[in-house]
């Protein structure tokens, strides 16, 4: 099995759209009445959820005229938020076929399929022409990509001069073995966590200029304390990340709390620009 196959297999669960539809019904909604906000608890698969998305994307100066690339889009939660919030066009790319197919259905449910296209693909080797996008971002994606240099070079190629790239990933900030499983990997062989310096070296070698960096550890611990309470009682929650992670959700959340609290990893934002 290739690394790409391992990543796709890790995230696939089967029956995902049915589970989300059932959760929507438990909310007292239907595909015709559900909103982007209603879906936020299940389709924002990263630390901080919708709150983190808004804080992060606001740093990218997205406008309605922009064509934005969502790298590792998952179910397209951030894509839907961006399209609704900024009125921009969004293309999302992800390795997991089930996520892409489910995400496109969710876009149609909330009436944003005219602005959003989610596609299956590899972020290190995309089909897009040079300078195709005005802005791009990735949220909790690089932990599954070993070759950060190829990733940075490809994203530099498809971003127009003057465009911004935002990265919000779990990064290595200290020593000590990580406790597994975690949301992005069942075991160490599936995990490609790197330090902020390793990211910046790859980004600068590709031609980007770093303009901002932020460690979000405290924010993460507060988020996880709330998420742990919800996942431990997942049977009562209509929608949530337990729908994506399944029965292993409580263990993955406990391990992430430990990994962040022990300063082994942290969610870090890095904002870069391709010089004009």
Asked if 145 and 124 touch (Cβ cutoff 8 Å), the reply is yes
pLDDT bracket for residue 246 (50, 70, 90): confident
Asked if the model's pLDDT at residue 1 lies above 50, the reply is no
Q: Using one digit for the tens of pLDDT, what is the confidence trace for 131-143?
A: 999 999 999 999 9
Q: Determine if the peptide bond prior to 181 is cis (ω within 30°).
A: yes
Could you give all domains of the chain from N- to C-terminal order, each with its CATH number?
3-273 (3.40.50.150)
Specify the pairing of strand 133-139 against strand 116-120.
unpaired
pTM: 0.93
Between 254 and 85, the higher pLDDT residue:
85
Q: Using one digit for the tens of pLDDT, what is the confidence trace for 31-73?
A: 999 999 999 988 988 988 899 999 999 999 999 999 999 999 9
DSSP state of 212: E
Count of C-beta atoms within a 10 Å radius of residue 12: 13
Residues written for the chain: 276
């Amino acid at each position: 099995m290739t690394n790409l196959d391992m990543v796709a297999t890790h995230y696939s669960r089967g029956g995902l759209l049915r589970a989300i539809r059932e959760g929507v019904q438990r909310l007292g909604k239907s595909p015709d009445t559900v909103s982007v906000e209603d879906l936020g608890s299940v389709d924002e698969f990263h630390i901080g959820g919708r709150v983190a998305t808004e804080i992060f994307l606001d740093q990218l100066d997205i406008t309605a005229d922009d064509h934005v690339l969502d790298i590792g889009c998952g179910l397209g939660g951030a894509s839907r938020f961006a399209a609704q919030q900024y009125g921009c066009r969004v293309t999302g790319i992800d390795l997991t076929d089930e996520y892409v197919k489910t995400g496109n259905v969710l876009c149609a449910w909330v009436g944003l399929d005219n602005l959003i296209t989610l596609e299956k693909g590899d972020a290190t080797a995309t089909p897009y022409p040079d300078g195709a996008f005005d802005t791009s971002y990735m949220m909790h994606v690089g932990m599954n990509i070993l070759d950060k240099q190829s990733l940075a070079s490809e994203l530099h190629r498809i971003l127009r001069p003057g465009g911004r790239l935002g990265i919000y990933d779990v990064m290595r900030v200290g020593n000590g073995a990580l406790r597994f499983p975690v949301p992005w990997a069942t075991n160490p062989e599936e995990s490609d966590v790197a330090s902020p310096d390793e990211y910046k070296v790859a980004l600068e070698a590709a031609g980007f200029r770093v303009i901002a960096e932020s460690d979000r550890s405290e924010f993460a611990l507060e988020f996880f304390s709330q998420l742990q309470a919800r996942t431990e009682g997942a049977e009562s929650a209509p929608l949530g990340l337990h729908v994506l992670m399944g029965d292993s959700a409580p263990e993955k959340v406990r391990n992430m709390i430990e990994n962040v609290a022990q300063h082994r990893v942290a969610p870090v934002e890095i904002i870069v620009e391709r010089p004009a």
